Amino acid sequence: MRRLLLLVGGVVFVDTMFFVALTPLLPDYAEDYDLSKAGVGILAGAYPIGALLGGIPGGLATARFGARPTTIAGVLVIALTTMIFATGNSILVLDLARFAQGFGSAFAWTAGLTWLVGATPADRRGQTIGLAMAAAIVGALFGPVLGGVASIVGQAAAFGAAALVAIGLAVWAFFTAAPPPAKPQPLGVFIRALRNGRILLGVWFVVLPALLFGTMSVLAPLRLEELGFTAVAIGALWLCTAAVEATANPIVGRITDRVGRIGPMMVLALASAVAAAALPWPETAAVLALIVVAAGITFGSFWTPAMALLSDEAEARGLEYAYAFALINIAWAPGQALGAAGGGGLAQLTSDAVPYLALAGASLITFAVLWRSESSS
């Protein structure tokens, strides 16, 4: 079990590292390719769009061929497309490479988490998912560092070295034992599961933080640069944020195993409303940086209870874990893409305050609906 946790943790670590590595480089790409905020949003949103379109194929591949070969395939696609991105010389190539990275990510995440959760007892599921998410967040912690290093030594060298780590994980997965694939469920079982209220609730709690993170990941680096932060400073800020998130997620997982999934989600929804509402106003880099750290912690702590709720409901309804974790990619991807591209575009048309306040309102409404539901039950 520990070996499998380390392997899957390594897979999600590498994936989120590649995903977040773009953040400190966004101002440079905006300058090099003369991108508007909407153009920056498209570049940032290409990855989650790929993950969205790869969600169902990743779930079907995991169910049909098994978790191990699907994990290997996903990790190898991530490694290859990372090298293409590192050597690309046009915005079209960069957008397409990020899209393909996201597509491979959907396979790696779905299969890896299916493999891990299938080997975990139900009463330890929240904690195990929390540990896996901590690994993902540590990857997000190193992502800005990788991006900062790439801005100094060159992208081919920095991203090439990281791609070799991904290839090493694929080799490790090849030599790790895994159960044979069961007979795959019909796709209709997956579609019927979408009618269940608690599954839809879990899906929303993946979409909401993705919207929040997607918007902040585009607007905050650009605003920080305006206020005097360099790419290295932006990377260091994301490093600090991810470090605290990585510590918080296993704790949140243990809490949800003890008190249930809904209560922690309510607290996080209210905290996210406050954080999102505070993001557009600072006039100094130091104040904005503190709010980004606080917002990152609240947004990032949603993943563990949401994933635990989805896996609980999948088990209760006989739905394969592969489909449940495909749902996570399908839910996360449009949220991240809409947050990045839509948030960037809306900010360009109006101001940064409009997308941030809209998401604060969505978080507050979510809290109110959950509060009313829990009070009446």
pLDDT single digits (tens) 298-324: 998 887 888 888 888 877 777 777 877
pLDDT for the residue numbered 179: 77
Q: Which of 69, 118, 91, 127 is nearest to 256 (CA)?
A: 127
pLDDT for the residue numbered 182: 67
pLDDT for the residue numbered 128: 84
Say if residue 1's pLDDT is above 70: no
* Residue where the block lists tokens 């997956």: 190
Q: Which of 175, 186, 140 is nearest to 299 (CA)?
A: 140
pLDDT for the residue numbered 218: 85
Q: Which of 11, 100, 19, 114 is nearest to 59 (CA)?
A: 114
Say if residue 130's pLDDT is above 70: yes
Region 38-64 average pLDDT: 85
pLDDT single digits (tens) 71-122: 999 999 999 999 998 888 888 999 999 999 999 999 998 899 888 887 777 7
Return the exposure string of 216-225: e unless at least 16 CB atoms fall within 10 Å of the residue's CB, then b. Answer: bbbbbbbbbb
Compute the residue count for the chain. 377
pLDDT single digits (tens) 226-238: 998 987 788 788 7
Say if residue 341's pLDDT is above 80: no
CATH code of the domain containing 203: 1.20.1250.20
SS3 content of the chain, % helix, strand, coil (to 5): 85, 0, 15
**Counted domains in the chain:** 1
pLDDT for the residue numbered 45: 80
Q: What is the residue range of 292's domain?
A: 2-376
pLDDT averaged over every residue in the chain: 85
Region 15-26 average pLDDT: 82
Say if residue 23's pLDDT is above 80: no
pLDDT single digits (tens) 264-305: 889 999 999 999 999 999 999 999 999 999 998 899 888 788
pLDDT for the residue numbered 142: 78
Q: Is the dihedral of CA 44, 50, 56, 59 positive or negative?
A: negative
Confidence class for position 377, pLDDT limits 50, 70, 90? low
pTM as predicted: 0.74
pLDDT single digits (tens) 146-188: 887 887 887 788 888 888 999 999 999 999 888 777 666 777 7
